[in-house]
């Protein structure tokens, strides 16, 4: 995730919270091609802390928070709780956006429903998008996003295209058409979300 964020030159600062310093040491030593020097980016700051503790204690605020964690069992479970979501809301700047992986919805539909229910307590606009992640069992990953900036949902394809061209990014997967298509959810997920009490 860090490597991809550092590709965006307009990002002013990057804070990564990791509970285990050993993970970072391992990645630096054994996965140099994967991290591609991103740990040495001058915008990067590493915080060794529990994610829930960090978002509930920090005085920093952010435009974007990306939660790239494991499934909601064992050590990763706390990053799918109301305490974490409330903390993320607290340290987001006005109009900021929170994003989190939510598993393979075809197999883990309850995870998305639970995230939607919890996030809706803190954000006025909550939704999902999907992407093909062939290294993950099931292939199509679901990601939750939450914001109080309702205008983000209504960005036109033309604006997305202009921003993408201005970024100068060369991507192997992403393009503005993929962006738009990612928000078209399968009917079983739409039905499951619609059947939840408000």
Q: What residues are designated binding site for S-methyl-5'-thioadenosine?
A: 18, 50-51, 75
Give the burial class of 3: count Cβ atoms within 10 A of its Cβ; 0-12 exposed, 13-18 middle, 19 or more buried. Answer: middle
Distance CA 1, CA 24 (A): 13
Active site residues: 68
Instruction: Write the CB contacts of 32 (distance below 8 Å, at least 6 apart in sequence).
Output: none
Tens digit of each residue's pLDDT (9 = 90 or more) over 68-107: 987 777 778 889 999 999 999 999 999 999 999 998 888 8
Q: What residues are designated binding site for spermidine?
A: 68-71
- pLDDT tier at 198, thresholds 50, 70, 90: low
Q: Bigger pLDDT: 157 or 97?
A: 97
Domains recognised in the chain with CATH numbers: 71-194 (3.40.50.150)
Residue 73: its pLDDT value, please?
74
Residue 146: its pLDDT value, please?
98
């Amino acid at each position: 995730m860090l490597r991809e964020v550092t590709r965006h030159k307009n990002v002013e600062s990057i804070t990564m919270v990791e509970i285990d310093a050993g993970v970072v040491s391992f990645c630096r030593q054994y996965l140099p091609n994967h991290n591609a020097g991103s740990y040495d980016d001058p915008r990067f700051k590493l915080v060794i802390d529990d994610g829930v503790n960090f978002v509930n204690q920090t005085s920093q605020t952010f435009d974007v928070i990306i939660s790239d964690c494991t499934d909601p069992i064992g050590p990763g479970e706390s990053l799918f709780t109301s305490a974490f979501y409330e903390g993320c809301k607290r340290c987001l700047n006005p109009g900021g956006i929170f994003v989190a992986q939510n598993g393979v919805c075809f197999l883990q539909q309850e995870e998305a429903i639970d995230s939607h229910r919890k996030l809706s307590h803190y954000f006025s606009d909550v939704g999902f998008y999907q992407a093909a992640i062939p290294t993950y069992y099931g292939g199509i990953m679901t990601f939750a996003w939450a914001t109080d900036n309702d205008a983000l949902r209504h960005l036109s394809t033309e604006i997305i295209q202009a921003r993408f061209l201005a970024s100068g990014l060369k991507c192997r997967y992403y393009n503005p058409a993929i962006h738009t298509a990612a928000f078209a959810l399968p009917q079983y997920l739409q039905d499951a979300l619609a059947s939840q009490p408000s």
